[in-house]
């Protein structure tokens, strides 16, 4: 049986939220974002979860998510993923990478990603259609092109990979990216998409946080 691991990069400081604590420790409904993220992965059947946390919060995060292995994260997302990869047991074949700031990721999305990998895909990302009209502008803010949104998708997490593919992608690329699939694409490996979930949005701004709180309250009334 395929063993599945998930990496949760949680070392970001949440500057756009103006927080005195790392964003992953922000609470929604009495639980931190990282607790929500880890719990969802475990419910979806993930065997091993590795969280990459800021050095000064590792002990706190370990107390919050005792079912996860917690390691010290790096200076950026890519370094955090690489450090977490080193902590994954050797018998794991499939690795997911999931944002700690997506507290309401659907368990169905996790299963769709895993199913596609088990069916033979090397890399899989969940996506949702882009609802707004998208325009390309120049450096002066002048519109130069209207892009056909029918061909566009917004990418969510967890992104899933064959372990050897993700390891090779991080070893071969020196770029700093916010999307692990971009590293795989740069290697010329096909990235497959599956349906995402609108509820799996990322908490990045105060507005996102207020939406997350409202969703939690609505779901627990």
pLDDT surpassing 70 at residue 14: no
Query: CATH number of the domain that 196 lies in?
Result: 3.90.550.10
CB-CB neighbours of 179 under 10 Å: 15
**Residues 186-213: pLDDT tens digits?**
999 999 999 999 999 999 888 998 999 9
- E strands, 61-186, are 69-72, 94-97, 123-129, 134-137, 143-147, 153-155, 159-162
Domain that holds residue 15: 4-127+154-219
Percent of the chain at pLDDT exceeding 90: 74
Give the bridge partners for 135, in sequence order.
146
Predicted confidence band of residue 165 (pLDDT cuts 50, 70, 90): very high
In-domain check, residue 45: yes
The tally of domains found in the chain comes to 1
What is residue 84's predicted lDDT score, i.e. its pLDDT? 96
Predicted confidence band of residue 124 (pLDDT cuts 50, 70, 90): very high
**Residues 25-63: pLDDT tens digits?**
989 999 999 999 999 999 999 999 999 999 989 999 999
Least confident of 5-14, 22-31, 121-130, 199-208: 5-14
What is residue 221's predicted lDDT score, i.e. its pLDDT? 41
In-domain check, residue 73: yes
In-domain check, residue 149: no
In-domain check, residue 138: no
pLDDT surpassing 80 at residue 220: no
In-domain check, residue 67: yes
Query: Minimal CA–CA distance to 83: which of 91, 168, 75?
Result: 75
In-domain check, residue 185: yes
In-domain check, residue 136: no
Average pLDDT, the chain: 91
Continuous segment of H or E residues that includes residue 52: strand 48-53
Q: Residues 116-141: what's their mean pLDDT?
A: 96
d(Cα 73, Cα 96) in Å, to the nearest integer? 17
The residue that leads in pLDDT, 11 or 159, is 159
pLDDT surpassing 80 at residue 219: no
Percent of the chain at pLDDT exceeding 70: 93
pLDDT surpassing 70 at residue 15: no
d(Cα 94, Cα 124) in Å, to the nearest integer? 11
Entry pTM: 0.92
């Amino acid at each position: 049986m395929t063993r599945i691991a998930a990496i949760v990069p949680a070392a970001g400081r949440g500057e756009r939220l103006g927080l005195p604590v790392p964003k992953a420790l922000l609470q929604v409904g009495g639980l931190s974002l990282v607790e929500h993220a880890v719990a969802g992965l475990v419910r979806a059947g993930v065997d091993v979860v590795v969280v990459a946390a800021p050095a000064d919060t590792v002990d706190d995060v370990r107390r919050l998510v005792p079912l996860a292995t917690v390691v010290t994260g790096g200076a950026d997302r890519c370094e955090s993923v690489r450090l977490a990869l080193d902590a994954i047991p050797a018998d794991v074949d499939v690795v997911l990478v999931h944002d700690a700031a997506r507290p309401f990721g659907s368990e169905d999305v996790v299963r769709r990603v895993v199913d596609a990998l088990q069916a033979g895909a090397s890399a899989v990302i969940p996506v949702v259609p882009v609802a707004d009209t998208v325009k390309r502008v120049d450096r002066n803010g002048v519109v130069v092109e209207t892009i056909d949104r029918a061909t566009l998708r917004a990418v969510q997490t967890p992104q899933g990979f064959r372990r050897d593919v993700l390891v090779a992608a991080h070893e071969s690329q020196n770029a700093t990216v916010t999307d692990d699939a971009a590293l795989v694409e740069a290697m010329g490996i096909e990235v497959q998409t599956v349906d995402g979930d609108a509820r799996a949005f990322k908490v990045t701004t105060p507005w996102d946080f207020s939406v997350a709180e409202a969703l939690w309250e609505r779901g627990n009334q």
